[in-house]
Amino acid sequence: MASCADIAHARQLGLVKLLADGPEILADAGYQGLGAQTGGRVVTPPHRKFKKNATERYEEVYERQHKAHSSRRIRVEHGIAHLKNWRSLARHLGRREHMSDTVQAIAGLLSHPQTVDLSSARQM
């Protein structure tokens, strides 16, 4: 596929239909417009309607909505960043067929210390 925006790839691959039937997805501003196409299943930050000469009230409401979305999405961003710390995901040079196996293996490695911490905390 040629280089183009993520939202264009999502539309070309038919992901919009899948997203409409799935759970709520917290997306970044690059996916604005998918919310309407998926019946509100894709939630993006609010769109700034006025870039110049916005009223003070509008700015307050926009900032509050933007912060609320960011507060919910930060967990997603931290999860993605945590996975990218692993070199195999930051710069995957292997075969794409094995990528899902790699992600599952890394997720297992990452969750194992948390499981050990939880079990030791329960014993106390």
3-state secondary structure 92-114: CCCCHHHHHHHHHHHHHHHHHHH
17-74: pLDDT as tens digits: 888 888 888 888 888 888 888 888 989 888 888 778 888 898 899 999 999 999 999 9
Position 35, amino acid: G
Backbone angles phi, psi at 72, to 5 degrees: -75, -35
Which pLDDT value is given to residue 67? Answer: 93
- The separation between CA 86 and the C-alpha centre of its own chain, rounded to angstroms, equals 18
pTM value is 0.57
The helix (run of H) or strand (run of E) holding residue 9 is helix 6-12
CB 18 within 8 A of CB 37: no
Share of the chain above pLDDT 70, in %: 77
Name the band, by pLDDT with cuts 50, 70 and 90, for residue 82: confident
Looking at the predicted structure, is the pLDDT value of residue 104 above 90? no
Instruction: Determine how many CB atoms are found less than 10 A away from the CB of residue 7.
Output: 19
